[in-house]
Amino acid sequence: MSDPIAIESVLNETRVFPPSQEFSANAHIKSFEEYEKLYAEAEADPEGFWAKQAESLDWFKKWDTVLEWNEPFAKWFVGGTLNVSYNCLDRHLTTWRRNKAAIIWEGEPGEQRTLTYQQLYAEVCKFANVLKGQNVKKGDRVALYMPMVPELAIAMLACARIGATHTVIFGGFSADAIADRVNDGKVKLIVTADGGYRRGAEVTLKNTIDNALPNCPNVEAVIVFKRTGTKINMSSGRDHWWHELMAAAETECPAEELDSEHPLYILYTSGTTGKPKGILHTTGGYLTQTAYTTKMVFDLRDEDIYWCTADIGWVTGHSYVVYGPLANGATVLMYEGAPNYPDYDRFWDIIERHRVNILYTAPTAIRVFIRWGESHVLKHDISSLRLLGTVGEPINPEAWMWYHHVIGKGKCPIVDTWWQTETGAIMISPLPGATPTVPGTATRPLPGILLDIVSKSGEPAGDNEGGYLVAKHPWPSMLRTVYGDDERYKKTYWSEIPNRYFAGDGARRDERGYYWIMGRVDDVINVSGHRLGTAEVESALVSHEAVAEAAAVGRPDEVKGQAISVFVTLEGGRKGDEALKNELRAHVAKEIGALAKPDDIRFTDALPKTRSGKIMRRLLREVAAGADVAGDVTTLEDLSVLEKLRDDED
């Protein structure tokens, strides 16, 4: 590819893990040939394929048109009406599932609650009536700022039931970040809690809302769930206790018939400027794809206990804790707190006690578990696990292998999933009974998803040529716009590559047709005219026994254009010194070539991450260049990490 901004790929991985015969025999998709046949049929007729998937939902009125495409604006299942809450609850009540556990919840201090589908339905109906009693109507926006408790899912489903559009704000954001999102969405009502628990400490939530409210003129009321019992201020007339309103609420609330394109939720994601982007997802297309991918990617069975460890404040929590699993009638495990409270084995203890079958977590969490050591895992019987998944960013091969051996005991397929807040649902993933997996690749696009890797001008890349990962055809769960800003939607996602959706990731496709995500294109490092993806440099570093986690960024260099600067977190107890720096440089050169040898290596106790676990390389680039950190930092989990990195510079 002659394009000057092609991305070079230097990572080579040859280990292949076919699904076991036993797993394939019982899977929804039983062979790679079956996957390829399904993919070819869907590629030939995407609309017909997605219409067939949509038929698995309950519609009040069937659609007239599957897809109305006026680039870059899509409408799916036009003319159809349905309700997400009805599909997640009501339709299960006429089956044996009414007495099945919908949510098994565990609080960080150790309390446990189980809600059957019948009980969850009653709670959702009551809270829907509570919202109506607070003058919330179809089309109004409601903000949810809560800990990981069942009431957060209840509030989401209640909003969906009456046609109010929810925006979940992660329960760690500051008052300013809340105000930005509440005002952008013109939110009418906020649902919060007095507090929640994280790493043994109370996280105060209502106080943060109180600090935001003077700057939120549209908010008329606040509903407060009592979680911790801490003393809070309740403003008369504006603030209401959840339990008091629920005690007086009716237990029946019919689900509204909503247009397929009715806005289900707005979810804010960071922008490069100070203004976060409100990603808008609608009803019919979103639920079709989340329900389908939950069933197929996780090979979901009725008897499974399914645990996605994501916070509901992130898109993974929306799609794969709440909407996708409940639409399938699954049993979902929810856990409130940290993986290392009261000790480093909390996750494995939860899996043992609840006999969890499916675990879906982030590569950043896996790398932390590696750093803590496998002794914490080995204390527990986690043999109930039959499937593992990863989400959030590319998983490096060494972390994949640890997950495979230590957690999966060599018998659990791993579904490495690629998707984004904007895509709404999984786009690339192995199908666990069909796809031979290779550590570090999300393998192939799912049936119905048409992707490509291209140059800047839109020319397709050849095998193993890095380029821009784009979508060639609309898909049901795609974002519809940036809330209130169609022009920003067009410019951000549709202006880079002609007639293609592009949301920032570079990738290559190997001779198998497997996709290797190489990280954000704006994270590419240009070294002496060679463009290297950060994910590959990081993978090489993490394959060294001393390294737990690494982030690579480019910094300006007069000779090479950019130099490679890496930030490294070491395995527990290891000390960083000049000898280790030299060893790591040599290791990278051996793994992927001298071209990728880091110029700077800095040892750090922690890397700056978003609350969903993504490393914020933009901030590291600014630190590496000695520049002031600018732009949106509201999604940063721990500001002190950034301060420490700056102090280390001085």
| Mean pLDDT, residues 496-506 taken together | 92
- The answer to whether 569 and 604 are in contact (CB under 8 A) is yes
Residue 323: its pLDDT value, please? 98
Q: Does domain 524-649 have CATH number 3.30.300.30?
A: yes
Cα angle vertex 193, ends 192, 194, to 5°?
A: 135
The answer to whether the beta carbons of residues 323 and 312 sit under 8 Å apart is no
pLDDT of 296 reads 98
Average pLDDT over every residue of 624-636: 69
pLDDT > 80? residue 640: no
Specify the pLDDT at position 636.
Answer: 62
| Ramachandran sector of residue 278 (left: φ over 0; alpha: ψ -120 to 50; beta: rest) | beta
What pLDDT is stored for residue 611 in this prediction? 65
Per the CB < 8 A criterion, the answer to whether 471 and 500 are in contact is yes
Helix (H, G, I), strand (E, B) or coil at 367: helix
Alpha-carbon span 618 to 633, nearest angstrom: 10
pLDDT at residue 643 is higher than 80: no
- Write out pLDDT tens, residues 324-333: 999 999 999 9
Residue 591 pLDDT level (bands cut at 50, 70, 90): confident
Question: Mean pLDDT over residues 82-100, rounded?
Answer: 98
Section 365-394 average pLDDT:
94
pLDDT at 529: 58
> Is residue 523 a contact partner of residue 553, using CB atoms and an 8 Å limit?
yes
Choice among 183-197, 571-585, 599-613 with the minimum mean pLDDT: 599-613
State the CB neighbour count (10 A cutoff) for residue 583: 13
pLDDT in tens, 93-109: 999 999 999 999 999 99
pLDDT score, position 639: 64
pLDDT band at 634 (very low <50, low <70, confident <90, very high): low
Domain ranges of the chain: 524-649
Summarised one tens digit per residue, pLDDT across range 62-81 is 999 999 999 999 999 999 99
Report which of 288, 235, 315, 301 is spatially closest to residue 59, judged by C-alpha positions.
288
Percentage of residues in the chain with pLDDT exceeding 90? 77
Pick from 160-164, 496-500, 592-596: least confident: 592-596
User: How far are the Cα atoms of 37, 106, 195, 274 from residue 207, in angstroms, in the given order?
Assistant: 55, 24, 9, 24
- pLDDT tens digits for 155-190? 999 999 999 999 999 887 888 889 999 999 999 999
> Is pLDDT larger for residue 1 or for residue 509?
509
Kindly indicate the confidence band of residue 14, based on its pLDDT and cuts at 50, 70 and 90: confident
**pLDDT, mean of residues 388-392:** 95
The per-residue pLDDT for range 446-481, each reduced to its tens digit, is 999 999 999 988 999 999 998 999 999 999 999 999
Kindly report the length of the chain.
650
d(CA 261, CA 74): 9
β-strands 414-416, 165-168 pairing: unpaired
Q: How far is residue 618 CA from its own chain's centroid?
A: 19
Confidence of residue 386 (pLDDT cuts 50, 70, 90): very high
What is the pTM (predicted TM-score) of this model? 0.86
Q: Per-residue pLDDT for 2 more than 60? A: no
Instruction: State residue 129's pLDDT score.
Output: 98
Question: Is pLDDT above 70 for 273?
Answer: no
DSSP 521: G
Per-residue pLDDT tens digits for 126-142: 999 999 999 999 999 99
371, 385, 406, 574 from 298: Cα distances, Å: 27, 12, 20, 37
| pLDDT at 9 (0 to 100) | 58
Cβ atoms of residues 144 and 150 within 8 Å:
no
What is d(CA 431, CA 445) in angstroms, rounded to the nearest whole number?
Answer: 10
- Write the pLDDT tens digit of every residue in 517-562: 987 787 667 776 566 777 778 888 988 999 989 999 888 877 777 8
Band the pLDDT of 592: cuts 50, 70, 90: confident
Top-confidence range, 381-395, 577-591, 630-644:
381-395
Average pLDDT over residues 572-601: 87
Task: For residues 208 and 211, give the distance between their C-alpha atoms in angstroms, rounded to a whole number.
Answer: 5
Q: Is the pLDDT of residue 489 over 90?
A: yes
Residue 632, C-beta contacts closer than 8 angstroms, at least 6 positions apart: 270, 271, 272, 273, 274, 275, 276
Band (pLDDT 50/70/90 cuts) for residue 319 is: very high
pLDDT of residue 588: 87
Mean pLDDT calculated for residue range 430-445: 97
Smallest CA-to-CA distance from 282 within 101, 478, 569 is with 478
In this prediction, residue 4 carries a pLDDT of: 41
Q: Backbone phi, then psi, for 198, in 5-degree steps?
A: -150, 120
Q: How many CB atoms lie within 10 A of CB 272?
A: 12
Phi, psi of 276 (to 5 degrees): -65, 155
pLDDT given for residue 531 in this prediction: 63
Q: How much is the mean pLDDT over the chain?
A: 92
Query: Percent of the chain having pLDDT more than 70?
Result: 93
